[in-house]
Structure formats: C-alpha cells, structure tokens
C-alpha cells in the first residue's frame, strides 16, 4: 500500500469514532425527537459510505507483502520448537538413557516398494539434490546400517522418500524420533544460506487425516497451525504454515501409517505417492500391514529399510549395561540366559527395543527376574511379552522411595486406562486428545446444563433489575442465549483455541473482518426492527446502527485474540493446551460481556435513562460474560463429559490430573497437545482386556503375578503387585 493511503487510515477511523460518540451524546441530550431523527438519517447515510471506504483503506494498509526473510524466520522458529519438543520426548521415552538399544536395519526384501536402483537413480530428472553437507546415497549405502546412518539415507537418497518398516515393538517410533533430532541437529550446524535449503522435519502420526477427502498438504498445514500456533504471527506473513508446506520448507515424517484403518491405507499410500512430490517424506509402519497395503498401491522409488531383531549377544550386552557392575546374581543369570540360550522363548521375546525396555523398567528384584526365567511358565514368546506388559502398571504405580503413595491404585489405573485404550481402538486412534472425549458421551445433558447456567445468570440479572427487565425477561434472555451458546459450544469435539495479544497491525488482514462486521450489522438490523416496534423508526435506526457496529466490532476482536501467536520454541503439552484453552474462554467471555453489555446499556439508556442504562449494561455484561467465559472454551464440554463418564465409573472426575500422573509414571507420553500410550502394545493389551470384560461390573480380578501358570490368561492382563 502507498504511503498516501496509509496516512488516511487513522484519520478516517478517528473521524468515524468521533462521529459515533457525538451522535450518542446528542441523542441522550436531545429533546426534539423529530430533529434527532433527521440527524440519525444523515449520519446513517454518511456511515454507509464511510464503512466500506474505511475497510478498504484498512485492508490495503495491512495487505503488505511480508518481509523477504519472514518464511526463513518461520522455518527457524519451527525448527527450534520441534527440536525442543522431541528432545523432551526422547528423554521421556528413555531413547538415549541409560543406554541406547543397538537397533540395525537392512534393505527390505518384502514387496513394499521398487528396487534399490529406482530409489537412488536420478535418470528421471525428478530427484532431490542431497541436503547440504550430505553425500548422495548409492545402492551400497542402502545394504544395511544403524540408526545413526538413517540421516544419510534421508538426506541423500535421490527419491527423497524413506520407508522404515519393522515388527511390532521393533523401534520404529523411536527411530523416527532420533532421525528427527539428527536431521534438526544437522540443520542447526549449517550456515544461513545452506539452512534455507534444508527443510525442517516435522513428525506426526496420521491423526485426523482422511486421505480420501483431504489433500496431504492441507492436512499437514492444518496440523502445523494447530500444534505450532506461533506460525500465525504476522511477522511470518499470511498463512506461514501453508507457505512452509507449499514451498517445501518442511519434510513430513509420518509415524504409524498402520494406525489408519485397513481399507484406508492403500488410499493413503496413493495420496502420499501422488501429492508429496515437492518435499521429503519419511513413513514408518509395521511390516505386515505395509505389505498388504502396498499390494494395491506403493510409494514409488522409496528407499525401504527394515529394522532387524536385536541379536542375543547384543541384547545381553544391553541388559548388562542397565545394572551395576557386577550385576546382581539374578540379573546376571538373565544376561547369561539371553546370551547362551538363543533358542529359548525368553531370548526370542527379548529381541526388540520394546521388550528390552520393559525388562529394564519393570523387573526390580531377583524374584521377578527368576519368574521370567521359569521355563515351565512360558511356552511361547507371546506369553513372555504379555507377562512383561502386565507388569507395566504394577511397576508404574508402586510406591517410590521418598515419595507419597500414588493417589490411584493399580486396579483403578487398569480400569480407567483400559477404557481409554478400548475407546481409542474403536476410533482407530493412537492419540488421546482431551477435546475429543466429549464425543464419547451424549451431548444432550451438556446442552441442558449450559442452558440452565445461562438461565440462572438471566434470573440473577432479572432479580437485580426488577422493573426494567423483570424475572421473566431475564430468564428468557438467559435461556435464549444459553441455547445458542449450548448448541455451538456444549457439544465439544472442536479444536481448542488459545488467547493471544491483539496485533492491531494485522487485525484488518484477517479474513473474518468483513464477515464479522456484516454479521454484526445484520444482527443490528434485527435489534433495530424490534426497537422500531417498541419506540418508533428513529429509535429503531439508532438501536440497529449502534448495536450492529458494537456486535460486529466485538466479534472482530473475538477473532483477533483467538489463534494468535504464542511464544516460539515452547512445545504445547496437553496440560498447557488445557490451561490456555480455559484462559481463552475467560478472555472471550470478558470481550463478549463488554460488547453485549455496552449494547444493552445503550438500549436501556435510551428507554430508562443514562444511569439505569449503565447499571443494566454492567449487570448484563457481567452475568453474560461470566457464563460465556465458562462455557465458550473446549474445557467446558470436556469437563462435563468427564462427569458423565465418571457416573459410569470408567474415568475419574479429574481425568486430566490422572492422565498427567500416568505420564509422569511413564505409562503415557505426550506428542504435542495429545497423550499417547508409551507403548502401542500396552494400549492393545489393555484394550483387549477391557473389551473382554466390558460387560462385567467392577474392576478385573487381580491375581498375584508370582503365581506360576503355564496357560495364558483369556481375560487379559493379570495385574497385581510386583
């Protein structure tokens, strides 16, 4: 926009504001209503012309192109946030401490992609140049390697596509996390010019993606905007998240393609194959599921590597590093058994990072180790794996030295986590998003509760105002507004929003500006018609104009402080997301209370006088603002849903506190604002147990895990004290 246009923006807004204030002051003092009507008609005509002109000036002012380095700074801020997030995840998942599991990979001979030559050949002319500082990958480089070698494959393969497959528990998610961190560390070491040519790896599960209806780029841009909301900052330019995707400034790491429904996986592969051509792609999935999906459609030219089982000698060496040296007698017997008896069912079961980690974390004394070595107890590796999975909760909820006992018993944890795991399985999800939990319970009770809350606010307002509104009037206002808010907010299931500071320089650029003002003027027309019937044409014009502008500008402000930027480099965990959503609700309640309270004060002031109008507006704004502030946030329907589910005994009332406690005990982990079970196998085990006992009231039986048994349990985990 030219400087000439910019000079006129603020004078135009000032003239508009002074005009409105002047008209309102005149109306409250005028004695000649006919003259007042003439003034109102004149002002209305002027504002009808001034509104579109001012909006055009404001749009032109804020439609400036972003700074040339805006996208570069957005990419760097995203890289810092992703690195901070996954460094925390690597620490929580114990991927590097106390010792990394020695996982290796080989080129996959399964029918999941093309040949090695297809992945490394640049004959098509459509390949990716190696990332700065990395050599081009050859077919020899794809024969085999360790997890540290995946960075070279990711950054140097000509196709730009890497497929990591493996058995359940083989370490695919851990490999994806470590590769993400290695790629970010490499990017941070580059010079500025090289860093601009290096994409930021972003690691997501396929949560919320419907490949049949939603393009990959749209889904990815939406996930970036939700999980990293600082990308909405004006300094990065309009739609920075979409621009990063569109210009290939990010690389998609998709962890767990097998989590999609079986019928959807081939569709997802086709979408990835056809749509992800301008950015690098890494996909992890279970081997068997990938073979089935690739029979219909595969990722052309992808470099497919398969994670290998951990050999007995390496597994024994890892277990030896997990304890003091020399190790306790029972632990030493386990190490020797794994090293010297490669054909035993215990050794066969301990060939994945998952099972080795469970042995490390759940076997705390010699008696437990000896139970695992009881050859009469297990006849297959599945029974060994189930035994270790069944020990997760008892170990997690055992009393810790120097800490008070857990607020939750093992039985409670099993019951509640089993329900969550079963519901997540029914929904085909690995991510537990707290704002989606209201979809698990009927919406009708939440709608009624919200209506009654607003009705109560209306009763308080009516009692306070008596003559001007009355009890019946206040109740009617409260119930009507409650119904509207309840239908919009009480159902739940929407993405939580955050409260941010208003950036006036970018407010006019929001796509909501014109829609909000137009909607406000439409609402003002409805108020004006009602006022016309009550007090005549002049009164109706005044009420309609002022109410419309107030409602429109209030709505603009609501959108201006929603989804605004937050501090870069701060990953949003579920608890932070919950708190910010709650703050967002109260912030918007304050704005809406001020806006609608002002409208009510103006209308009441014209009828009953200035003092009564101000009192009416204050009370109405306070009552409506508090009710709206409580119910507008996604935490309101979620909290009500927790109460609904608690009545069935399937979750605690303070579900967020329970989930956070489970995270600190390494039963759950976080991925951005959602929870996940630390091990997908644990989720499956608990879901199977709960699904088999869903019709049985009360908790599952808790037999002692020390009792030998040669037969696997048919009812699921037999959780008991270790």
Higher local confidence (pLDDT), 707 or 623: 623
With 0-12 / 13-18 / 19 or more C-beta atoms within 10 angstroms meaning exposed / middle / buried, residue 447 is buried
Mean of all residue pLDDT scores within the chain: 77
Residue 305 dihedral angles phi and psi, to the nearest 5°: -120, 145
Residue 365: pLDDT band (50, 70, 90) is confident
CA 651-655-659 angle, to 5 degrees, is: 105
Residue 370: pLDDT band (50, 70, 90) is confident
With 0-12 / 13-18 / 19 or more C-beta atoms within 10 angstroms meaning exposed / middle / buried, residue 359 is buried
Residue 292: pLDDT band (50, 70, 90) is very high
**pLDDT greater than 50 at residue 268:** yes
Q: Which ranges of 499-609 does DSSP label H, i.e. alpha helix?
A: 504-507, 512-535, 537-560, 574-608
> What number of other Cβ atoms are within 10 A of residue 471's Cβ?
15
Alpha carbon of residue 40 to chain centroid: 49
Residue 411 dihedral angles phi and psi, to the nearest 5°: -65, -45
Closest listed residue to residue 638, CA positions, set 482, 492, 494, 499: 492
DSSP string, 654-722: SHHHHHHHHHHTTSEEEETTEEEES-HHHHHHHHHHHHHHTTS-SPPP---TTS--SS--SSS------
Distances (CA, A) of 722 to 232, 281, 374, 699, 706: 49, 43, 16, 18, 8
pLDDT at 632: 74
Higher local confidence (pLDDT), 103 or 68: 103
| Burial state string for 562-574 with b = 16 or more CB within 10 A and e = fewer than 16 | bbbbbebbebbbb
Written as six digits, the tokens of 693 are: 């006992």
Q: Is-contact 138 71, C-beta < 8 A?
A: no
Residue 701 dihedral angles phi and psi, to the nearest 5°: -65, 150
**pLDDT greater than 60 at residue 64:** no
In this structure, the dihedral spanned by the alpha carbons of residues 435, 436, 439 and 441, taken in order and rounded to 10 degrees, is: -60
- Across 49-58, 238-247, 596-605, least confident range: 49-58
Closest listed residue to residue 299, CA positions, set 279, 320, 282: 282
- Identify any residues that bridge with 283 across adjacent strands, giving them in sequence order: 163, 254
- Across 239-248, 429-438, 706-715, least confident range: 706-715
Q: For the residues 604-608, what does the mean pLDDT come to?
A: 63
pLDDT at 3: 40
pLDDT at 366: 77
Written as six digits, the tokens of 175 are: 């490999």
- Across 130-134, 211-215, 559-563, 605-609, least confident range: 559-563
Higher local confidence (pLDDT), 589 or 35: 589
pLDDT at 44: 47
Residue 604: pLDDT band (50, 70, 90) is low
Which of 383-387, 558-562, 587-591 has maximum average pLDDT? 383-387
Distances (CA, A) of 273 to 150, 455, 574: 21, 54, 32
pLDDT at 373: 86
**pLDDT greater than 90 at residue 151:** yes
- In the chain the first and final C-alpha atoms are separated, in Å, by 71
pLDDT at 61: 44
- Across 165-174, 509-518, 641-650, least confident range: 509-518
- 327-345, pLDDT tens digit by residue? 888 899 999 999 999 999 9
- 169-193, pLDDT tens digit by residue? 899 999 999 999 999 999 999 999 9
- 522-539, pLDDT tens digit by residue? 556 655 655 565 566 666
Question: What would the 3-class secondary structure string for 293-334 be?
Answer: HHCCCCCCCCEEEEECCCCHHHHHHHHHHCCCCCCCHHHHHH
**pLDDT greater than 70 at residue 583:** yes
**pLDDT greater than 60 at residue 707:** no
**pLDDT greater than 80 at residue 500:** no
**pLDDT greater than 90 at residue 324:** no
DSSP string, 329-362: HHHHHHHHHHHH-TTSHHHHHT-SHHHHHHHHHH
- Identify any residues that bridge with 675 across adjacent strands, giving them in sequence order: 432, 670
Residue 70: pLDDT band (50, 70, 90) is confident
Written as six digits, the tokens of 185 are: 């560390």
Written as six digits, the tokens of 97 are: 């401490």
Written as six digits, the tokens of 535 are: 């007090």
pLDDT at 471: 58
Written as six digits, the tokens of 320 are: 């030896």
pLDDT at 555: 65
Q: Is-contact 515 503, C-beta < 8 A?
A: no
Going by their DSSP bridges, the two strands 281-286 and 104-107 should be labelled as unpaired
CA 188-192-193 angle, to 5 degrees, is: 125
Q: Compute the chain's Rg from CA coordinates.
A: 31
Q: For the residues 98-124, what does the mean pLDDT come to?
A: 87
- Across 28-37, 302-311, 550-559, least confident range: 28-37
Closest listed residue to residue 380, CA positions, set 331, 330, 343: 343
Rounded Cα gap, residues 634 and 436, in angstroms = 9
> What number of other Cβ atoms are within 10 A of residue 68's Cβ?
8
Note the pTM of the prediction, 2 decimals. 0.72
pLDDT at 568: 44
Residue 259: pLDDT band (50, 70, 90) is confident
Distances (CA, A) of 338 to 19, 95, 341, 391, 438: 86, 22, 6, 20, 47
């Amino acid at each position: 926009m030219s400087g000439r246009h910019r000079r006129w923006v603020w004078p135009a807004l000032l003239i508009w504001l002074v005009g409105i204030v002047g008209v309102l002051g005149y109306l409250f003092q005028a004695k000649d209503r006919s003259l007042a009507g003439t003034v109102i008609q004149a002002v209305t005509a002027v504002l009808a012309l001034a509104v579109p002109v001012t909006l055009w000036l404001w749009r032109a002012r804020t439609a400036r192109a972003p700074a040339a380095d805006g996208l570069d700074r957005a990419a760097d801020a995203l890289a810092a946030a992703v690195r901070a997030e996954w460094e925390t995840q690597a620490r929580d998942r114990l991927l590097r401490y106390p010792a990394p599991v020695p996982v290796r990979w080989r080129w996959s001979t399964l029918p999941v992609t093309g040949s090695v030559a297809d992945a490394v050949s640049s004959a098509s002319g459509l390949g990716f140049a190696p990332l700065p500082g990395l050599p081009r990958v050859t077919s020899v480089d794809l024969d085999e390697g360790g997890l540290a070698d995946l960075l070279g494959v990711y950054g140097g393969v000509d196709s730009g596509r890497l497929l990591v497959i493996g058995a359940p528990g083989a370490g695919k998610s851990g490999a994806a996390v470590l590769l993400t961190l290695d790629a970010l560390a490499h990017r941070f070491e580059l010079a500025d010019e090289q860093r601009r040519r290096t994409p930021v790896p972003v690691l997501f599960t396929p949560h919320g993606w419907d490949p049949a209806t939603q393009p990959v780029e749209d889904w990815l841009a939406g996930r970036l905007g939700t999980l990293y909301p600082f990308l909405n900052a004006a300094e990065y330019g309009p739609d920075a998240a979409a621009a990063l995707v569109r210009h290939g400034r990010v690389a998609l790491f998709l962890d767990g393609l097998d989590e999609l429904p079986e019928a959807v996986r081939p569709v997802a592969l086709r979408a990835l194959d056809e749509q992800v051509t301008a950015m690098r792609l890494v996909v992890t999935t279970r081997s068997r599921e990938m073979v089935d999906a690739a029979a219909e459609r595969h990722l052309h030219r992808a470099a497919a590597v398969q994670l290998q089982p951990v050999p007995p000698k390496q597994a024994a060496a890892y277990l030896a590093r997990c304890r003091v040296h020399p190790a306790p007698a029972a632990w030493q017997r386990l190490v020797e058994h794994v090293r010297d008896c490669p054909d035993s069912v215990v050794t066969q079961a301990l060939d994945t990072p998952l099972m080795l980690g469970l042995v490390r974390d759940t076997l705390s004394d010699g008696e437990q180790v000896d139970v695992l070595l009881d050859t009469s107890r297990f006849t297959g590796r599945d029974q060994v794996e189930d035994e270790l999975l069944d020990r997760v909760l008892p170990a997690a909820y055992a009393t810790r030295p120097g800490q008070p006992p857990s607020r939750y018993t093992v039985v409670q944890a099993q019951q509640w986590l089993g329900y969550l795991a079963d519901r997540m399985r029914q929904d085909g999800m690995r991510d537990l998003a707290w704002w989606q939990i209201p979809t698990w319970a009927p919406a009708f009770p939440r709608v009624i509760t919200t209506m009654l809350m607003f009705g109560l606010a209306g009763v308080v307002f009516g009692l306070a105002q008596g003559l001007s509104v009355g009890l019946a009037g206040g109740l009617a206002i409260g119930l009507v507004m409650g119904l509207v808010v309840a239908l919009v907010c009480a159902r739940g299931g929407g993405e939580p929003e955050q409260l941010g500071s208003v950036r006036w320089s970018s407010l006019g650029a929001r796509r909501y500006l014109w829609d909000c003002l137009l909607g406000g003027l439409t609402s003002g027309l409805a108020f004006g018609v009602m006022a016309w019937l009550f007090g005549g044409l002049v009164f109706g014009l005044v009420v309609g104009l002022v109410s419309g502008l107030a409602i429109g500008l209030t709505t603009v402000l609501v959108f201006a402080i929603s989804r605004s930027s937050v501090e870069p480099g701060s990953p949003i965990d579920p608890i932070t997301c919950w708190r910010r959503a709650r703050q967002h609700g109260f912030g918007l309640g304050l704005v809406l209370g001020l806006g609608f309270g002002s409208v009510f004060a103006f209308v009441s002031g014209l009828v009953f006088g200035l003092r009564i109008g101000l009192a009416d507006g204050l009370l109405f704004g306070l009552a409506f603002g508090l009710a709206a502030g409580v119910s507008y946030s996604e935490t309101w329907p979620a909290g009500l849903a927790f109460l609904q589910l608690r009545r069935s005994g399937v979750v605690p009332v303070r579900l967020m506190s329970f989930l956070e406690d489970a995270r600190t005990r390494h039963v759950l982990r976080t991925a951005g604002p959602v929870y996940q079970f630390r091990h997908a196998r644990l989720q499956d085990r608990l879901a199977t147990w709960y699904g088999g006992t869903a019709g049985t009231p009360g908790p599952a039986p808790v037999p002692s895990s020390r009792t030998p048994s040669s037969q696997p349990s048919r009812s699921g985990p037999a959780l008991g004290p270790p």
